[in-house]
């Protein structure tokens, strides 16, 4: 499998939209991506030649077989697309993934076609074209089903769950969850299983089935922790915090937000940090506990969300900051609101 394209495939689609806004709404996605691994045949060949000369004296190493031009072209497209996706340049990424899809089709390379279709679908989703995203992901799933690539097929299904939740396709979402939950062969690796449980937990949260939601999140967190998947763990902690908020368990929610914030800081994830500070401040304010800390968290969250150009969340944070000031008997003047 081409390493550039394969590494672009989302090994951990850790979406905690519920942490960015209400649980049903998913407008920003946090994903864990592996960077493409640059091939190094020239370096390896040089080392091999040096080793041969040292060991045997005068000898020569057979040069590596040249990569056919069409294959190299497809690999370059996939590698460039992966970089653009990692940068969040979704418009350009979509164009590159489309090129990769076409080039792999010309080579009849169906596994890489499916990977490129999946990532093309993700780019269209990020651009708000949910109908196209769903079609592309369904196409990828069909190929992976035909090739019996179960791990890749499950990742397609999880992405489809996210798209359907984002488009409020309630009936389609419910039907897909029912089908996947009844499937005899569940995901083989822990992180993929955890991703599915996280999505199902969000679904249960949305339908106010708090017990099953809590159970799914707990199991997902255990699986991510066992896999040492910190991005996945941070995501689930954020979703658990929002679930606790919905149940008016604000002190517990604040603690879950604190743990999520610590994880996101370790990951150097600015969006996750800002959202966690907002959630923690909101929970402390609702609990009427630690109002000074709530004020500080909301002040910093507002500033950081503005730096991230998330005006909707920044406005929510600023409104909560005003409430935190009022709860302490402070006026919401420009001086007190200075960030």
Phi and psi angles of residue 13, each rounded to the nearest 5 degrees, phi first:
-85, 70
Neighbours of 24 (CB within 10 A): 17
Which tokens hold the place of 31? Answer: 């994903």
Q: How is the chain split into domains, by residue range?
A: 3-56+63-184
86-137 confidence digits (pLDDT tens)? 999 999 999 999 999 999 999 999 999 999 999 999 999 999 999 999 999 9
Q: Which of 34-43, 59-68, 165-174, 218-227 has the lowest mean pLDDT?
A: 34-43
Kindly report the pTM of this predicted structure: 0.75
Is the backbone of residue 15 left (phi > 0), alpha (psi -120 to 50) or beta? beta
Burial of 56 (0-12, 13-18, 19+ CB in 10 A): exposed
227-285 confidence digits (pLDDT tens)? 999 999 999 999 999 999 999 999 999 999 999 999 999 999 999 999 999 999 999 99
Calpha distance 303→238 (Å, rounded):
20
Q: Does domain 3-56+63-184 have CATH number 3.50.50.60?
A: no
99-108 confidence digits (pLDDT tens)? 999 999 999 9
Calpha distance 140→138 (Å, rounded):
5
The percentage of the chain sitting over the pLDDT mark of 70, rounded to a whole number, equals 79
Residue 145: the pLDDT is 96
Torsion angle of C-alpha atoms 235, 310, 242, 24, degrees rounded to 10: -90
Calpha distance 74→112 (Å, rounded):
9
313-327 confidence digits (pLDDT tens)? 999 999 999 999 999
């Amino acid at each position: 499998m081409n390493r550039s394209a394969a590494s672009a495939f989302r090994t951990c689609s850790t979406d905690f939209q519920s942490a960015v806004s209400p649980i049903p709404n998913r407008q920003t996605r946090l994903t864990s991506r592996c960077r493409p691994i640059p091939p190094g045949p020239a370096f390896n060949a040089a080392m091999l030649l040096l080793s041969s000369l040292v060991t045997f004296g005068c000898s020569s190493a057979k040069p590596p077989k040249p990569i056919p031009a069409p294959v190299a072209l497809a690999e370059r497209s996939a590698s460039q697309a992966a970089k653009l996706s990692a940068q969040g340049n979704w418009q350009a990424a979509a164009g590159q993934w489309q090129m990769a899809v076409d080039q792999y089709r010309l080579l009849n390379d169906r596994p890489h076609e499916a990977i490129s279709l999946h990532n093309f679908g993700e780019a269209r989703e990020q651009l708000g074209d949910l109908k196209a995203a769903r079609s592309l992901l369904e196409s990828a799933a069909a190929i992976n089903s035909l090739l019996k690539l179960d791990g890749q097929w499950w990742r397609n299904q999880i992405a489809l769950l996210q798209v359907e939740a984002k488009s409020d396709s309630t009936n389609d979402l419910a039907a897909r969850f029912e089908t996947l939950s009844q499937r005899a062969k569940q995901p083989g690796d822990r992180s993929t299983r955890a991703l599915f449980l996280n999505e199902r937990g969000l679904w249960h949260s949305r339908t106010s089935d708090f017990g099953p939601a809590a159970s799914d999140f707990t199991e997902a967190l255990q699986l991510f922790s066992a896999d040492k998947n910190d991005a996945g763990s941070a995501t689930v902690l954020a979703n658990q915090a929002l679930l606790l908020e919905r149940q008016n368990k604000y002190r517990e929610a604040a603690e879950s937000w604190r743990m999520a914030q610590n994880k996101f800081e370790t990951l150097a994830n600015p969006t996750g940090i800002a959202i966690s500070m907002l959630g923690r401040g909101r929970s402390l304010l609702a609990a009427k506990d630690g109002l000074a800390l709530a004020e500080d968290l909301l002040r910093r969250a507002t500033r950081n969300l503005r730096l991230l150009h998330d005006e909707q969340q920044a406005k929510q944070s600023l409104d909560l900051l005003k409430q935190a000031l009022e709860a302490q008997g402070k006026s919401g003047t420009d001086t007190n609101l200075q960030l």
